[in-house]
């Protein structure tokens, strides 16, 4: 039985936002007697993560992901509730705690802007008091795995976004933390770069048994690296479970794509929506149905007895389309 490593107990966090009205008079009024409203960014979030687990943390823009990551990494203090990571309380034990974790905020580099990458790493070696052997081993491994050889001597400000992100990820791991919080570590990175980052993360989880919480807007990131997903919306948690069970529970709409051997009159079938997806001279139609209303066998028989079919394939709903529907409120959790 794996041990629980991260305990998030009903945390909430609000921000005070200035309630500014338009116009100079209101700006003056605001200066004299500021008017604030409270915005609840995180509202009673509660979950646990076990040692070695890779968790995808999902939610639309402004749903409270970064705020939660900031509380987990000790930068922000929750207004209510508490967090325990191993023996630490992040926001209380911040000084000791940071040496135990790795953090990447994809939107903001933590490297020294004007220094070459390698010098920036060297600076971290001193800040974290990383012992030389460990530093050299990690450096060598990360340079190879993340393909960083070509830009190690370039100043950080000259790097492309994908290179900068790889450097930031390596930097967050030089001190061999066992727990990492990655907030959008693939944002703006091209397909090849993303793949490299994902492979690296998976490799690290295997070899070093790293525990990870990973926010992203790219479902492929999650599908390729995580076993579990937590989904939040408007600061509240709407899902906590395996990716497989998201598909199981919410992947109710299935599709069959049928290629006909010629143009045919399309007959409506009750509870089935039919869409023409023909391209360049073929005759392709997509039949969508709810698997709790209609069986695949029945629908296939219906199609085969009505049309002259050349080919067909069954399309399972991808995690991406399911998550999109969850965000859009089309499926209730």
Ligand X SMILES: Nc1ncnc2c1ncn2[C@@H]1O[C@H](COP(=O)(O)OP(=O)(O)OP(=O)(O)O)[C@@H](O)[C@H]1O
Give the C-alpha separation, 217 to 320, whole Å.
10
Angle at 20 between CA 14 and CA 25, to 5 degrees: 155
Interacting residues with ligand X (CB under 6 A): 15, 17, 39, 41, 59, 61-67
| Phi, psi dihedrals of residue 75, rounded to the nearest 5° | -75, -40
Q: How far is the CB of 290 from ligand X (least distance, A)?
A: 31
Q: Which does 138 bind (CB under 5 to 8 A by kind): ligand X, Mg ion, none?
A: none
Residue 105 or 287 with smaller CB distance to Mg ion: 105
Q: How far is the CB of 29 from ligand X (least distance, A)?
A: 21
Q: How many CB atoms lie within 10 A of CB 301?
A: 11
Q: How far is the CB of 167 from ligand X (least distance, A)?
A: 21
Return the HEC string of 315-326: ECCCHHHHHHHH
Classify each residue of 255-281 as buried b or exposed e, where b means 16 or more C-beta atoms within 10 Å of its C-beta: bbbbebeeeeeeeebeebebeeeeeee
Residue 66 or 186 with smaller CB distance to Mg ion: 66
What the block records as the tokens of 286 is: 């997509």
Q: How far is the CB of 187 from ligand X (least distance, A)?
A: 9
Q: How far is the CB of 58 from Mg ion (least distance, A)?
A: 11
What the block records as the tokens of 118 is: 């390698």
Find the residue with minimal CB distance to Mg ion: 66
Q: Write out the binding residues for Mg ion, residues 197-256 only, by CB under 5 A.
A: none
Interaxial angle between packed helices 132-145 and 161-173, expressed in degrees from 0 to 180 and rounded to the nearest 10 = 150
Per-position x/- string for 66-105, each x denoting binding to Mg ion as judged by CB under 5 A, each - no binding? x---------------------------------------
Q: How many CB atoms lie within 10 A of CB 28?
A: 9
User: How many residues line the site for Mg ion (CB under 5 A)?
Assistant: 2
Residue 174 or 230 with smaller CB distance to ligand X: 230
Q: How far is the CB of 105 from ligand X (least distance, A)?
A: 10
Q: Which does 39 bind (CB under 5 to 8 A by kind): ligand X, Mg ion, none?
A: ligand X
Q: Which does 41 bind (CB under 5 to 8 A by kind): Mg ion, ligand X, none?
A: ligand X
Residue 59 or 299 with smaller CB distance to ligand X: 59
Q: Which does 327 bind (CB under 5 to 8 A by kind): Mg ion, ligand X, none?
A: none
Give the C-alpha separation, 179 to 212, whole Å.
6
Spatial CB neighbours of 190, under 8 Å, sequence gap ≥ 6: 162
Given the rule CB under 5 A, which residues bind Mg ion? 65-66
């Amino acid at each position: 039985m794996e041990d629980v490593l991260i305990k998030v107990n009903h945390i909430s966090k609000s921000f005070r936002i200035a309630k500014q009205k338009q116009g100079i008079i209101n700006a003056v009024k605001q200066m004299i007697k500021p008017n604030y409203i409270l915005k609840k960014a995180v509202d009673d979030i509660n979950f646990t993560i076990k040692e070695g687990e890779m968790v995808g943390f999902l939610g639309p823009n402004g749903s409270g992901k970064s705020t939660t990551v900031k509380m987990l990494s000790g930068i922000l203090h929750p207004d209510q509730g508490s967090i325990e990571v191993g023996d630490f309380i992040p926001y209380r034990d911040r000084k000791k705690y940071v040496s135990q974790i790795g953090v990447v905020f994809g939107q903001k580099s933590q490297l020294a802007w004007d220094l070459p990458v390698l010098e920036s790493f060297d600076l971290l070696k001193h800040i974290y008091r990383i012992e030389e052997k460990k530093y050299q081993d990690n450096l060598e491994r990360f340079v190879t795995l993340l393909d960083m050889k070509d830009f190690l001597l370039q100043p950080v400000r000259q790097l492309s976004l994908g290179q900068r992100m790889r450097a930031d990820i390596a930097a967050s791991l030089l001190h061999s933390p066992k727990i990492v919080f990655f907030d959008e570590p693939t944002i703006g990175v091209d397909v090849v770069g993303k793949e490299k980052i994902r492979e690296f993360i998976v490799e690290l989880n295997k070899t070093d048994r790293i525990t990870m919480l990973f926010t992203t807007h790219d479902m492929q990131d999650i599908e390729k690296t995580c076993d579990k997903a937590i989904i939040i919306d408007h600061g509240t948690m709407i899902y906590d479970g395996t990716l497989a069970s998201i598909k199981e529970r919410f992947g109710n709409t299935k599709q069959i794509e049928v290629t006909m051997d010629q143009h045919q009159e399309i007959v409506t079938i009750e509870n089935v929506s039919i869409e023409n997806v023909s391209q360049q001279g073929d005759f392709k139609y997509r039949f969508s149905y709810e698997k709790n209303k209609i069986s695949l066998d029945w629908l296939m028989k219906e199609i085969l007895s009505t049309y002259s079919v050349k080919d067909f394939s069954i399309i399972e709903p991808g995690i991406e389309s399911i998550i999109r529907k969850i965000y859009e409120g089309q499926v209730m959790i």
